[in-house]
Structure 1
Amino acid sequence: MDVDGGNKRVFHRLAVATAADTRHHQKKVCYHWQAGNCNRHPCPFLHSATVYGSTMSCNNNNGRRSHTFMNGTSTWGHGCGGGNHRAVRKADKVCNYWVQGNCGYGERCKFIHSWSCGDGFSLLTQLEGHTKVVSGIALPSGSDKLYTASIDETLRVWDCQSGQCTAEINVGGEVGCMINEGPWIFVGIPNCVRAWNTQTCMELSLQGPVGQVYALVVNNDILFAGTQDGSILAWKFNVVVNVFEPAASLTGHSRGVVSLVVGPNRLYSASMDNTIRVWNLEHLQCLQILTDHTSIVMSVLCWDQFLLSCSLDKTVKVWVTTESGKLEVTYTHKEEHGVVALCGVHDSQGKPILLCSCTDNTLRLYELPSFLDRGKIFTKQEIRTIKMGPGGIFFTGDGSGQVRVWNWAIDPTISIQ
């Protein structure tokens, strides 16, 4: 799926002095401190590589009432990293020479020698093999295999212990999306949804979609597929004969449906027509059309009682149900670039973290509900797919075909639901 918005960004290296440092005429970071052996007291140079901004605006509700989140302890965007303000970092670009393996500056390099910046998470491994955009990642229950799919028309199977690719399957078309539900894997390709049962090896082809299938979701044995022509097709699984039977077709979107998510008795669909539609899962009727975004709505996410959405209009919106039963925006978070994917994880203390993939080839990490900046992941091309895994692991797949495995340092005393 082609989307608007540039994939290039010019990064700027910034250094901010603390109040005590402003007494010195030098505003440079101490080279000896960076090397871990500065013995000057006091030192005329900075002993800090990162200084976070502390001036925040708490009037972030755009005239709307404030809503609490996570047991009512905080409000959206109220924190040291919320709103439109951003953490100030000394270096905000990955060193190109380091990527090529030949940077001669070492610790003295003013650019980042890492694929991420932030605390509490780290890169475990990289999985190489796909040649184009990674469009789906799946971890079927009861399986020790990781499945990845791409618009290079292949599905790859990886051994979770060794990290080796054990199989490559040609699925017969560009993969627009892939999900798993129990032992089943569903893959959306042009004009078809293909299904595999990883336990029984049963394979099915579901006909009916017109054009590329961009989004898939399962609820109560019903499979929903968002398609290029703007419709949402539904199949019901018949356990007696082990087949998926056509159940319904939901129409209303004027352009392709690119994201689907299920909430309490609701189905939410995001579309290239810049809208989100709210569907009643019992009667499959459209209850509301959300029109606050001004460009393609790329992803929707249900978290607690809230709906989050992101768009190429450079915003992430938080929606809440009012007393009248309608959704309204309670907070808008603005980015400098378009936002293409959302995912929710928990850090090592069980705090909710929102992952936002942007068109400048970065993945931003924000603590909710404050939108406190928790770090950033850098990629060669923008991340299109994010998947939660067990035990603090999460996966990312980018436009170059690279799959990365990340890990939060889990505190064994914390229980995360």
Structure 2
Amino acid sequence: MDLDGGGNKRVFQRLGGTPTDSRSQKVCYHWQAGKCTRHPCHFLHSELPPSNTNGMSSKRSHGSADGSGFSGPRRSANFSGGAVGGNKIVRRNDKVCNYWVQGNCNYGERCRYLHSWNLGDGFSLLTQLEGHQKVISGIAFPSGSDKLYTGSKDETVRVWDCQSGKCMAVVNLGGEVGCMMSEGPWIFVGITNFVKAWNTQNSLELSLSGPVGQVYTLVVGNDMLLAGTQDGSILAWKFNVVANCFEPAASLKGHSLAVVSLVVGANRLYSGSMDNTIRVWNLETLQCLQTLTGHTSVVMSVLCWDQFLLSCSLDKTIKVWVATESGNLEVTYTHNEEHGILTLCGMHDLQGKPILLCSCNDNTVRLYDLPSFAERGKIFSKQEVRAIQAGPGSIFFTGDGTGEVRVWNWSTEPTLTSK
């Protein structure tokens, strides 16, 4: 608020009030808590006194409500506003307070913007890992390891100790990390023209050549490592135990632009591309079985869930595909978002309920219950989240455009409800 010298008195006078008004210039504490029962109340039921004859409305110093986003009643005490004029409730905006981010919001609990990086029940932020200088493009947690691996477009892979949260090592790769994954003891990292492979048990390091341009996505299926590349190819390698190396197995052609997402399910390989299509491949014969053309922009992520295929795109939709009697996939449901969608990740909460995490290019991650697509909550970040990874037990990770990695925890504890 604009306070100077005379405090609220001067603000009130500029808004058309008179100094003889009998109402106190203090905001009612009970009104802020949503339970003032005095009519009339001697204290203000607004953050600034109401306008008088000049028609000006009171404003907050850092923006007004936009009313967008999460629908329905807030279930957390941090997310509900006070009562205005009887039973009408003023809810907080689904927007993180910029002043809180900078550490200098003076409104505290009275702020109508969120003082939290998440909204919703059943999960909470454990810690933040800082060190990368650019967008996080991959997160991997090898089985049986006590180390977390993160890759970034700052051309490094960082190794984090899971007990202390400290960075134990920084590996400079000399090129942007396009993707990262783990399979057993192996860490695979896609960079320009190569896939780097590290065995975390015996420290074996390998470089797999063959890709043309950036490697955007990696997956393992039918004992093969498969990589989606910038030139639209999908390359496959098999591990030769005798020679202790990965040998080229195949090159799958069909996409006209870069392959940016791969997933394996039911002996099928699904590839999403910048050419707006999804191709379905037989993992035994490596032949293309079908081309899906339901999206109108880049297919950013594909995900298998039970007998369904889920795909997301910059066209602001998530599509759910199901096989018909002929065996071909068709869209059975389309979920619309207000923003382009960057990546999907599926996991279960502590009650075993399937949850879909959906990163959008408005710097949020939406959490949905499946199969209903009922909104479970939101995660907010300073920039777009490009990497989401399920961890051991109740842990999961997100990495954003600032280079920050956040560690989240599913919880069985219910969030306190405001009264």
Output the TM-score relative to the length of structure 1: 0.80
Rg (Cα) greater in structure: 2
Over 3 Å counting, the alpha-carbon distance change for 1:295 and 1:264 in structure 2 is same
Structure 2 Cα separation of the partners of residues 394 and 43 of structure 1: 50
State the Cα RMSD in Å. Answer: 2.3
Structure 1 position 230, deviation (Å): 0.0
Structure 2 Cα separation of the partners of residues 30 and 254 of structure 1: 64
Does residue 376 of the first structure (1) align with residue 373 of the second (2)? no
Partner of 1:162, secondary structure, is coil
Q: Does the aligned pair in 1 maintain the 2:120–2:377 contact within 8 Å?
A: yes
Structure 1 position 31, deviation (Å): 5.2
Structure 1 position 220, deviation (Å): 3.0
1:296-342 CA-partner distances (Å, limit 9, x unpaired): 00000001111000000000000001111000000000000000000
Structure 2 Cα separation of the partners of residues 147 and 126 of structure 1: 14
Residue 344 of structure 1 is matched in structure 2 by 346
Over 3 Å counting, the alpha-carbon distance change for 1:156 and 1:370 in structure 2 is same
Does residue 32 of the first structure (1) align with residue 37 of the second (2)? no
Residue 57 of structure 1 is matched in structure 2 by none
Q: Does the aligned pair in 1 maintain the 2:175–2:191 contact within 8 Å?
A: yes
Q: Does the aligned pair in 1 maintain the 2:222–2:283 contact within 8 Å?
A: no
Structure 2 Cα separation of the partners of residues 30 and 233 of structure 1: 66
Over 3 Å counting, the alpha-carbon distance change for 1:404 and 1:330 in structure 2 is same
Over 3 Å counting, the alpha-carbon distance change for 1:191 and 1:109 in structure 2 is same
Partner of 1:169, secondary structure, is strand
Structure 1 Cα separation of the partners of residues 408 and 180 of structure 2: 20
Over 3 Å counting, the alpha-carbon distance change for 1:42 and 1:177 in structure 2 is farther
Structure 1 position 350, deviation (Å): 1.4
Structure 1 position 281, deviation (Å): 0.3
Partner of 1:196, secondary structure, is strand
Partner of 1:107, secondary structure, is helix
Structure 1 position 140, deviation (Å): 0.6
Over 3 Å counting, the alpha-carbon distance change for 1:241 and 1:410 in structure 2 is farther
Structure 2 Cα separation of the partners of residues 295 and 43 of structure 1: 57
Q: Does the aligned pair in 2 maintain the 1:173–1:189 contact within 8 Å?
A: yes
Partner of 2:212, secondary structure, is coil
Unaligned runs of 5+ in 2: 1-26, 47-66, 74-89, 414-419
Unaligned runs of 5+ in 1: 1-28, 55-87, 412-417
Residue 144 of structure 2 is matched in structure 1 by 142
Structure 1 position 92, deviation (Å): 1.3
Structure 1 Cα separation of the partners of residues 388 and 198 of structure 2: 21
Partner of 1:98, secondary structure, is helix
Does residue 163 of the first structure (1) align with residue 165 of the second (2)? yes
RCO higher in structure (CA 8 A, sep ≥6):
1
Partner of 2:402, secondary structure, is coil
Partner of 2:30, secondary structure, is helix
Identical-residue share of aligned pairs (%):
76
Q: Does the aligned pair in 1 maintain the 2:91–2:112 contact within 8 Å?
A: no
Structure 2 Cα separation of the partners of residues 41 and 373 of structure 1: 37
Structure 2 Cα separation of the partners of residues 201 and 33 of structure 1: 62
Over 3 Å counting, the alpha-carbon distance change for 1:43 and 1:193 in structure 2 is farther
Which of 163, 176, 179 pairs up with 2:178? 176
Which of 131, 134, 141 pairs up with 2:133? 131
Of 341-350 and 167-176, more deviation after overlay is shown by: 341-350
Partner of 2:109, secondary structure, is helix
Structure 2 Cα separation of the partners of residues 304 and 183 of structure 1: 26
Residue 283 of structure 1 is matched in structure 2 by 285
Matched residue type, 1:176:
G
Runs of 4+ in 1 over 4 A off after TM superposition: 33-36, 41-46, 49-54
Structure 2 Cα separation of the partners of residues 326 and 51 of structure 1: 36
Partner of 1:211, secondary structure, is strand
Residue 98 of structure 1 is matched in structure 2 by 100
Task: Give 1:15-414 correspondences, 5 Å limit.
Answer: 32=30, 34-35=32-33, 38=35, 40=37, 52-53=71-72, 90-410=92-412
Structure 2 Cα separation of the partners of residues 168 and 272 of structure 1: 31
Structure 1 position 174, deviation (Å): 0.4
Partner of 1:212, secondary structure, is strand
Over 3 Å counting, the alpha-carbon distance change for 1:319 and 1:172 in structure 2 is same
Matched residue type, 2:325:
E
Matched residue type, 1:117:
L
Matched residue type, 2:331:
V
Matched residue type, 1:225:
A
Structure 2 Cα separation of the partners of residues 353 and 154 of structure 1: 31
Structure 1 position 279, deviation (Å): 0.1
1:338-385 CA-partner distances (Å, limit 9, x unpaired): 000000121232111110000100000111111101111111100000
Output the TM-score relative to the length of structure 2: 0.79
Residue 8 of structure 1 is matched in structure 2 by none
Q: How many residues align?
A: 347
